[in-house]
Amino acid sequence: MNKTLKLALGAVLAVGIVMPAFAQTDNFPDVPDNHWAYEALARLKKDGLLVGYPDGLFRGNRPASRYELAVAIHATYVHLKSITDGLQAEIDQLKNAGTVDLQPLKDAIAQLQDEVNNMKGWGSDIDNLKKLADQFQKELASLGVDVEGLKRDLADLAKRVGVLEAHRLPIDIHGEADMFLIAGASSSHRPGITVDGRPVGVIAPPGYGGALAPAGMDRDSTIYHELDLAIKSNNDTGPKWHGDLVIGNMLGGTEPGGGTGPGMGQFRNAGAGFSQSASNAGPFSTGTESVYVQDLAVDFDTSIVGQGLAAELGRTGYSIDPYIFQRPDTNPYFQNDRWSNGKWYFDGGILGFHFGGVRLDAFGGKADDLTSTASPLTYQPMVVGKVGHGQSIFGLTQNNPYSGVPGSGIPVNEDLGLNLKIPLGQNGKLDLAYVWFESNTGISATGMQTGPAPAPNPSGASTSVANRADVYGGDLKWNFGSLVFDGGYSASELKSGNSNLTNKDNYAWHAQLAYDSQKWGAQVGYRSIQAQFAAPGDWGRIGTWWNPTDIQGPEANLHLNLSSTVKLTVAGEWDEGTGTTFNLPKSYGGAANTGLSHSDTLQHYTAELGFRLNDAWNATLGTELVYFKIPQTGGTNLNPTEQWYNLGLGYSLSDQARLSFLYQYSNADFKGSANPFGAGSKATGSLLTTQLTVKF
């Protein structure tokens, strides 16, 4: 992308700061959104006070009789009075409630508070009703309505709402508190392995020098806590703001020997926050108590050149597609919506332009300032080509042309992108995207972070630095009645300045066809992910191999509702290597890289049986199996296997609190490849997790 286009996009993002607000709402199909009564009619329809004609239209050009309007006015009055009468009945009941069982009382108070909050915006509605009651007094009286009583009730309602508005808080605070225990035990004096490649059932012995000793759950156990305070403004009109302040010990961490090496922090997964993951990471451990701002942004609706525009400015997040732009959820054991939302966060903005049913999002900002009070530590570092790229999986190092070091990638400092969403009638939609990434440091051919200038290699030749990347692609969804098609294509281009380092074997495509019914559902598909594909996405894992590349093959899954309380889900994937051989650029020496061949295969299976025991308890039984077959010419064949067996329990303490348990047994046999956890060819052990989540 040239500099002029970048400046233009940056200017477009800045426009949203100064535009007035304009909201749009669903309404009657025959009411244009620029009509002066659009918002009033939408509210009346939403509240069920206007239903239109049997064909769903409002027919605003047809004159309404005064009696029809009187009926609508009376319906509105009855609607408001029924709500306030109900509230008064609840208040009287609470006053007379005993103190034997406090929980029903607390629930009733919470419900009452919600209903009171809904009354706080009634002021203007009541004033309008009072005026209409005067205007249509004769017609209301002919309907048998006590008009004077109606006026007195409306005056009383106006007084009550005035009191509520006077005591209304300017902000709303809610959030989530989590307590999380994770413990591991070795089996047969061997550590186990998690699905994100971590050892469990280990401790660091005295004089730690890198080797971890087997241990039980009494010694290898870690307790985490986290408090998320979600704060938002309470205003009904004008710009609104929202933010998340997070406090906890799930970031940071040090090696048992006192260092800060890669992977030894608990959720850091290869040494950087919990936004990326790699195999062979270190064991779990608590970090320093930290505080950070997840997001803090102002959002409003406006218009520009006659088109609708939604803007969100500040620290905000965005995601597109797993194969284009989506943050990985790298801790499969800790369940949290905020961690799992797939959004990459940055300090900048998102502008959404509406052109009829078409929407164009322009987004961008700085991605390198998301730090916490611990270290400082970037808690969600954006990296191009990090997960699964160049990493060693069972002794097979897949070298990308920008790096020969396992697990390396380009750290992103700025991102800028466009996402076009096009509806295709009632049956489908098409999403297209182009995202640009820039790095202040870049990465050299040896995998070292350097400055943007070329760095000399040992032979004295100039070595380019990969400091830019472009990712682009699209996704099509189409509904054929009971069948749904989903297919997409995306590509990545890594660059040194304006010079392209990858222009072949740098793409991925996928296609799936799904069927779903009340009793069962199935999906079949095929995907191909080339060796040099390097998007910052989240397209899954095969065992401990996150975001795999250089593979292609079919996949399928099936779910069966065996009864109203039992559900079975099974899935399989059968891949082979792409057989790609590519040359590095001349600035990297021009050496050939060979990835997985067509004779290199892997199989991945999962199965889960879910039980709903009652309204409070549920249980799951599951397994995950991975089988590699990597023939070696003139050497030992690599045929590693990974197996996990799971038992899960969930208990609903209330609508706002949940307790969950997971027991997992792991059995990995590396069979000819190196054991990442020390001597021997196997990793066997147990994992126990417990999570208590309370929302407020």
Over residues 72-94, the mean pLDDT reads 63
Supply the Cα-derived Rg of the chain in whole angstroms.
30
pLDDT at 162 over 80: no
Highest-confidence range of 410-414, 446-450, 523-527, by mean pLDDT? 523-527
HEC readout, 267-323: CCCCCCCCCCCCCCCCCCCCCCCEEEEEEEEEEEEEEECCEEEEEEEEEEEECCCCC
pLDDT at 674 over 90: no
Report the mean per-residue pLDDT for the chain: 76
pLDDT at 653 over 50: yes
> What percent of the chain has a predicted confidence (pLDDT) above 90?
34
pLDDT at 510 over 80: yes
Highest-confidence range of 78-92, 520-534, 585-599, by mean pLDDT? 520-534
Two structure tokens written together for 39? 């918002």
Two structure tokens written together for 17? 């700061």
Q: Hey, is 70 helix, strand or coil?
A: helix
Q: Using 50, 70 and 90 to split pLDDT, how confident is the model at 558?
A: very high
Which of 170-174, 363-367, 505-509 has the least mean pLDDT? 170-174
For residue 355, the model assigns a pLDDT of 87
Which of 31-45, 72-86, 237-251, 636-650 has the least mean pLDDT? 31-45
Q: CA geometry: angle at 524 spanning 521 and 528, to 5°?
A: 150
The DSSP result for 137-171, as a single string, is: HHHHHHTT--HHHHHHHHHHHHHHHHHHHHT--SE
Place of tokens 């067509």: 598
Distances (CA, A) of 457 to 99, 426, 454, 464: 78, 57, 9, 10
More confident residue, 436 or 505: 436
pLDDT at 676 over 90: no
pLDDT at 221 over 70: yes
| Count of CB atoms situated within 10 Å of the CB of 36 | 6
More confident residue, 464 or 573: 573
Distances (CA, A) of 90 to 85, 86, 87, 106, 319: 9, 6, 5, 13, 44
Over residues 15-40, the mean pLDDT reads 50
- How many whole angstroms separate alpha carbon 507 and alpha carbon 606? 27
Over residues 634-655, the mean pLDDT reads 88
- How many whole angstroms separate alpha carbon 272 and alpha carbon 61? 62
**Residues pairing with 420 in the sheet:** 360, 432
Of 276, 277, 261, the residue nearest 195 (C-alpha) = 277
Which of 116-130, 212-226, 326-340, 608-622 has the least mean pLDDT? 116-130
- How many whole angstroms separate alpha carbon 162 and alpha carbon 171? 18
Q: Using 50, 70 and 90 to split pLDDT, how confident is the model at 503?
A: confident
- How many whole angstroms separate alpha carbon 336 and alpha carbon 123? 39
Q: Give the rounded distance of the alpha carbon of 609 from its chain centre.
A: 25
- How many whole angstroms separate alpha carbon 663 and alpha carbon 280? 21
More confident residue, 621 or 96: 621
Over residues 370-374, the mean pLDDT reads 74
Two structure tokens written together for 535? 């998007």
pLDDT at 667 over 50: yes
Of 346, 353, 391, the residue nearest 369 (C-alpha) = 346
280 φψ region: left (φ > 0), alpha (ψ -120 to 50), beta (else): left
Distances (CA, A) of 599 to 43, 390, 577, 662: 63, 20, 7, 37
Mind listing the domains of the chain with CATH numbers? 3-171 (no CATH), 173-695 (2.40.160.10)
Distances (CA, A) of 236 to 123, 170, 174: 12, 10, 18
Distances (CA, A) of 533 to 324, 548, 582, 586: 10, 10, 13, 20
- Judge contact between 657 and 692, C-beta under 8 A: yes
- Judge contact between 611 and 566, C-beta under 8 A: yes
Over residues 115-131, the mean pLDDT reads 58
More confident residue, 546 or 63: 546
Q: Using 50, 70 and 90 to split pLDDT, how confident is the model at 414?
A: very high
For residue 684, the model assigns a pLDDT of 94
For residue 694, the model assigns a pLDDT of 96
Q: Using 50, 70 and 90 to split pLDDT, how confident is the model at 483?
A: very high
More confident residue, 169 or 688: 688
Alpha helices (H) along 622-690: none
- Judge contact between 505 and 476, C-beta under 8 A: no
Q: Using 50, 70 and 90 to split pLDDT, how confident is the model at 206?
A: low
For residue 475, the model assigns a pLDDT of 97
For residue 281, the model assigns a pLDDT of 56
More confident residue, 127 or 446: 127
Of 532, 635, 541, 512, the residue nearest 593 (C-alpha) = 532
**Residues pairing with 574 in the sheet:** 603
Side chain identity at 406, as an amino acid letter? P
- How many whole angstroms separate alpha carbon 88 and alpha carbon 78? 15
- The alpha carbon torsion through 77, 79, 82, 88 (nearest 10 deg) reads -80
More confident residue, 94 or 559: 559
For residue 523, the model assigns a pLDDT of 97
For residue 263, the model assigns a pLDDT of 34
- Judge contact between 33 and 10, C-beta under 8 A: no
For residue 409, the model assigns a pLDDT of 72
pLDDT at 22 over 50: no
Distances (CA, A) of 376 to 101, 347, 441, 517: 48, 17, 18, 50
pLDDT at 279 over 60: no
- How many whole angstroms separate alpha carbon 312 and alpha carbon 243? 12
Highest-confidence range of 82-96, 166-180, 274-288, by mean pLDDT? 166-180
Distances (CA, A) of 681 to 191, 581, 611, 628, 674: 11, 30, 36, 15, 7
Side chain identity at 179, as an amino acid letter? M
Two structure tokens written together for 66? 């005064």
Per-residue DSSP letter, 586: G
**Model confidence pLDDT, tens digit, residues 338-358:** 888 999 999 999 999 988 889
Over residues 680-687, the mean pLDDT reads 90
| Count of CB atoms situated within 10 Å of the CB of 198 | 29
For residue 621, the model assigns a pLDDT of 98
- How many whole angstroms separate alpha carbon 520 and alpha carbon 563? 11
Distances (CA, A) of 400 to 410, 497, 573, 579, 588: 12, 18, 24, 15, 11
> What percent of the chain has a predicted confidence (pLDDT) above 70?
60
Distances (CA, A) of 445 to 380, 387, 461, 496, 589: 25, 18, 12, 11, 9
pLDDT at 64 over 60: no
Over residues 652-679, the mean pLDDT reads 87
| Count of CB atoms situated within 10 Å of the CB of 164 | 15
| Helices and strands counted in the chain (H then E) | 7, 37
Alpha helices (H) along 34-65: 38-46
